[in-house]
Structure 1
Amino acid sequence: MSGGQKVTSVEVVEFIKTVATKIRFTATFDGDAGTQAFCIKGLLDADDMTKMGGSTCVLEGDFYTKLAPQVNVQVPEAVAVVTDREAKQSVLIMRDLIAGGGRFCSALEDFTVDDAASSVAQIANLHAGSNLLDSLPWVTPRIASLGRMPHMTPEILQGLLDGPRGNNLTPAVRNGARLIAGMQALGDKDAPRPQFLVHGDSHAGNIFRTEKGSGLIDWQVLQRAGWAVDVAYHLCAVLPWELAEVEERNLLNHYLDLARGHGLTMPDEEEAWLQYREGVMYGYYMWGITRRVLPEITEKFTDRLGRAVMRHDSFALLGVA
C-alpha cells in the first residue's frame, strides 16, 4: 500500500451515515506512494441499538480477511481490518471504488433484466465457494435464529407493517404473526437442504459496478443456507415487480445454468422453482423488520418482496395457515 511510508496528510472526501458510518478519504504518504484513496467503514458512533449489531461487523471483517481471497466474487480490496472480538466491533479500510471509476448502485435503482443477469452471476460465483463451508465454522445458519429473535414480537412487526411499507399488500400478507411463522417455517424447511455460502442481503444498494462488471458489498449477514433465499431475495428486490413477474423464472434458470457450470448440484427446474417461491419469504421478512433505513428504501423493498410473497403464495407453500 505505502511501503511503510508515513502519512503526511488526510483529506475527507465524503461522509456517509447509515446504520454504519462510511468515510471516503485520501491519504498522502511520504515518498513514491503518493496520494491514495480509501474508504473506512464501521460502527464509529455506535449507540445502544447499533451495538447490538456489532457482531455482524466482526463477521464482515472475517469475510474480507479469511474468505474473500478464496471466492471468485468482485469485492472492494480491504487494505486493513481492525477487529476487537471482545467488544464485538470491526473497522474496515478499503480501496475507494468510486475514485477508481466504480459506481455503487442506489438502493432505489431499478435493475434491467441485463443488470440482474450480471449481478446474479456474482451470486452464482459466491455459491460456487460452498465447498469451503466445512472449513468455515464461523459462517453459520441464520434463518431460524432471525425468525425467533425475542425482541421482534408479532406486535412490533405488525406495527411496522401497518405503516406505509405495507400499503399495497393484502391483509393476509400484511400480518406480523403470520410473517414470523412464515420465516420460522422457511428455516425449518431450509435446514435439511444442501447448504450454500449465501450473501443474505443482496439488494440493489449492495451491488456496485466497475469496468469488470458487477460486484457485491456488505457482508454482515453472510451465512450458510439454501441457494434459493439469495436468488429469490435478489431478483425480487432489484426488479420492479411488474418486470419480476415476467422475467424472474428466466433469470432463475440463468442462475441454475451458471451454478451447474460451476459444478454445483442443483435441483431440477420444477423443484428449483418451488424452492425459489418459498425463499421469497426471507427477503420479505428481512425488510419487514427493518427500522434503521430511510423510509423510502424500506417501503420499496418491503412492497416488492411482499408482492412476490403474494404472487407466489409463499405462505401456503410453507404450510402457514
Structure 2
Amino acid sequence: MSQIPARQVPAQPQIAVPRSLAEALDPAWLAGALAQVAEKRAITQVEEVEVIRTVATKVRFAVTFDDGETRAFCLKGLLDVDEMTARGGPTCVLEADFYGKVAPAIATRVPECMATVIDRGAQQAVTIMRDLIVDGARFCSALDPFTAEDALLSLEQLALLHARSAFLEGADWIRPRAAELAQMSYVTPDALQALLDGPRGDNLSPRVRSAQNLAAAIKELAARDGARPQFMIHGDAHAGNVFRVAPGEGGGIGVIDWQLLQRGGWALDVAYHLNAVLPCEVAEAEERRLLGEYLALMRGHGMAMPEEEAAWAQYREAVTYGYYLWAITRRVDPPIIVQFTDRLGRAVMRHDSFGLLGVP
C-alpha cells in the first residue's frame, strides 16, 4: 500500500459563502477565509489573475499581506449564477467535503486545499486551493490528446483512490451516483432522444443512439454495479479533470474536480476514463493491456480484484456509464460534448455493452 502524503486538513471558517466574484475577491472576506494562512496579517491587495467560467467558476488570484508577502490561490464555486445553476450547489459541498475529509486520507495527487467554506443549510460551498500554475503545473483541457502511457499514469492515480475504499465505511454522504443517474427524471426520454439525434450521435448506430435502449442499459448497469463490491471512485475522470505536475517537481499526473465523487464499481471509473481520454483507435488497441496494468496495481495495493476475464466483462458493461453521462450533458461546450459522447458511444458499440446488459 502506498504511503499517504502528509496533508493538512483545510481550514473550515464559519463565514458566509460568497455568491459573486466580487464577494469572493473582497479583501475582508478573504481575510476570514484565509485566516489560517494569513496568521493575523492583513490583506492589503487582491489581484485577479484569471477567471474560468463553466458551470462552476474557477478564479485564480493573488493576495498581498501587510508584510509584503504575495501568495497565489485558486477559488472554485458557483459565482454569479442563475437560480437553476445554483441548484448544483450540493456538488460543490461534495467537493469541499472531499478536500476536508477524503484528501488527507488518500495518496492520489490532488491540489493542496487551503480552506473550504460551506453552508450546509443552503447547500453551497467554495473551495480555495493553492494555485499550482505558478509552480509550473499545467491543467489539461478536455480535448487534450492522451497517449496510452499518459493513461497509465492517470490510472495509477485512480488506483490510489480506489485502494482507499475502506473509507466508505460510515461515509454515507458518498453516494452511488450511477444508481441515482438511472433514476433521474429531469431528462425525459424525448429530451434524451433529441440530444442523441444531434451531432453528438452522428457516428453511432441506431441501436446505441436510441434513448430507450440507453435508459434500459444504465438501469441494468446500476443494478449489477450496486450488487458488486463498492469502491470510492472519482466518477468524472476525463482529460479536463487532470493536471500535469511541473517537470522540476518530478512530473506526473494529478486529479482535480471531485464534484462527482461516488461509491460504485471500479470499472465505472476505469472504462469511462480510458475511453474518454484516448482516441478510439488507441483505446481499442491498448485498453485490455491497460486494464491488466490497473488490476496489477490494485492487487499490489492489497485489494481483491476479479480475474482477468471477469474484469474484462465488467469493463465492457461499464462503458455505458460514461456514455450516459455525456449523452445527457447540456451545459458544456459543444465540441467537448460531441467528442466524449462519440468516443464513449463508439466504445459501447465496440464492446456490445448493451448486449452484455441484456438490452436487445
Q: Shorter-chain TM-score: which interval?
A: over 0.9
Measure, in 2, the Cα distance between the counterparts of 1:280 and 1:47: 33
Task: Give, in whole Å, the separation in 1 of the partners of 2:96 and 2:194.
Answer: 34
Partner of 1:180: 215
Query: What is the aligned partner in structure 1 of residue 186 from structure 2?
Result: 151
Q: Does 1:216 align with 2:255?
A: yes
Distance of 2:84 and 2:298 partners within structure 1: 38
Question: Residue 31 in 1 paired to residue 70 in 2?
Answer: no
Per the TM alignment, residue 45 of structure 1 is displaced from its structure 2 partner at its CA by: 1.7
Matched, 1:79 2:118: no
Q: Distance in 1 between matches of 2:301 and 2:41?
A: 42
Residue in structure 2 matched with residue 55 of structure 1 by the alignment: 90
TM-score (norm 2): 0.88
Report the Cα distance in structure 1 between the residues aligned to 2:84 and 2:153, rounded to whole angstroms: 35
The superposition leaves residues 131-170 of structure 1 with CA deviations (integer Å, 9 ceiling, x where unpaired) of 1110312111111111111111111111111111110000
Task: After TM superposition, give the deviation of residue 92 of structure 1 in Å.
Answer: 0.8
Q: Say yes or no: does 1:256 pair with 2:285.
A: no
Matched residue, 1:270: 309
- Match in the other structure for 1:18: 54
Distance 1:51 1:138 in 2: 20
Checking the alignment, whether the CA contact within 8 Å between 1:8 and 1:27 is kept in structure 2 is yes
Counterpart for residue 308 of structure 1: 347
Distance 1:315 1:49 in 2: 33
C-alpha distance in structure 2 between counterparts of 1:162 and 1:101, whole Å: 42
| Cα contact 1:155–1:177 (8 A) shared by 2 | no
Q: Unaligned regions of 5+ residues in structure 2, if any?
A: 1-36
CA apart distance, 1:52: 2.3
Aligned length: 320
Identity between Structure 1 and Structure 2 (%): 61
Q: Report if aligned partners of 1:182, 1:281 keep a CA contact under 8 Å in 2.
A: yes
CA distance in 2 between counterparts of 1:197 and 1:45 reads 32
Match of 2:242 in 1: 207
Q: Which runs of 5+ in 1 are unaligned?
A: none
* TM-aligned CA deviation for residue 48 of structure 1: 2.7
1:163 pairs with 2:235: no
Distance in 2 separating the partners of 1:18 and 1:114: 29
What is the match of residue 236 of structure 1? 275
Compute the RMSD of aligned alpha carbons: 0.9
- For residue 46 of structure 1, what is the amino acid of its counterpart? V
